[in-house]
Amino acid sequence: MTEPLLVALDVDTVDEALALANALRGIVGGYKIGSRLFTGRGPAFVEQMVGNGDRVFLDLKFHDIPNTVAGAIAAATRLGVWMVNVHASGGDAMMRAAKAAAVDEAAKAGTPVPLVIAVTVLTSFDQHQLAGVGITAPVADQVRRLAALAQAAGLDGVVASPLEIGLIRDACGTDFAIVTPGIRGAGDAKGDQSRTLSAGEALAAGASHLVVGRPIIAAADPRAAAERIAAACAGIAVRP
């Protein structure tokens, strides 16, 4: 099993998601459930995956007032998720409330505290798109700023493109999770991702976890595709 490799179950139905999870179990380290599947099927599927013993990264990118986000994180913790995320641009108070809710809810239930991580700058953004929402700082500077803010708020790590792994490690050290989405398979086009690398390149750069979607789930043989990516990662030292 390649523990850092997380597969994005970006499909429409539980049947599709379960078929993928069953095909990939033993190769990958967990599964990302995002807004597409969660909106259509709800928390029951998350509980089902957790009940199967799978690590679930609930990727809903919460961004709201602190009290609302705290309530959502508490609910995610009750579902038994392994990792959950918020938007770092929600600010210090919101992130602190999110982490506190995870700790408090896990203590009540006697369960492990989920990792709470923050999205920095979406991997679909380039400099032009960032400027379009009023942020004139270079992408790298904005990522560094938000990663440092998340760490100061007590979060466990961030979501960032592999191109910013080095600067995050420099700013936040080695004991800070970096989850990199939009990972390409060998020979794959970028698609809608502007800032991406291959799985091996991202791990070598210092990523903690890799989120892979289409290169695996859209493959004719998802298990074989996952095995190829896992093989490309073999022997590369992984950060916490």
pLDDT for position 85:
98
Residue 240, in any domain of the structure: no
Q: What is the mean pLDDT of residues 153-168?
A: 95
pLDDT for position 182:
73
Q: Considering the entire predicted model, what is its pTM?
A: 0.92
Spatial distance between the Cα atoms of 170 and 144, rounded to a whole number of angstroms: 9
Q: What is the pLDDT of residues 198-220, one digit of tens each?
A: 888 899 889 999 999 999 999 99
Residue 238, in any domain of the structure: no
Residue 15, in any domain of the structure: yes
Q: What is the mean pLDDT of residues 30-55?
A: 95
Residue 84, in any domain of the structure: yes
Q: What is the pLDDT of residues 112-157, one digit of tens each?
A: 999 999 999 998 888 999 999 999 999 999 999 999 999 999 999 9
Residue 61, in any domain of the structure: yes
pLDDT for position 192:
46
Confidence of residue 111 (pLDDT cuts 50, 70, 90): very high
What are the angstrom distances between the C-alpha of 166 and each of 1, 20, 72, 147, 161? 26, 32, 31, 12, 10
Task: Look at the chain and report how many structural domains it folds into.
Answer: 1
Tell me the CATH number at 65: 3.20.20.70
Number of Cβ atoms within 10 Å of the Cβ of 39 = 9
Give percent of the chain above pLDDT 90.
80
Task: Enumerate residues 6+ apart whose C-beta is below 8 A from 237.
Answer: none
Q: What is the DSSP letter of 185?
A: P
> Which residues have a catalytic role annotated?
61
For 184-198, give one letter per residue: b (16+ CB within 10 A) or e. bbeeeeeeebbbbbb
Residue 110 belongs to domain spanning: 2-233
Q: Which of 52, 56, 55, 57 is nearest to 22 (CA)?
A: 52
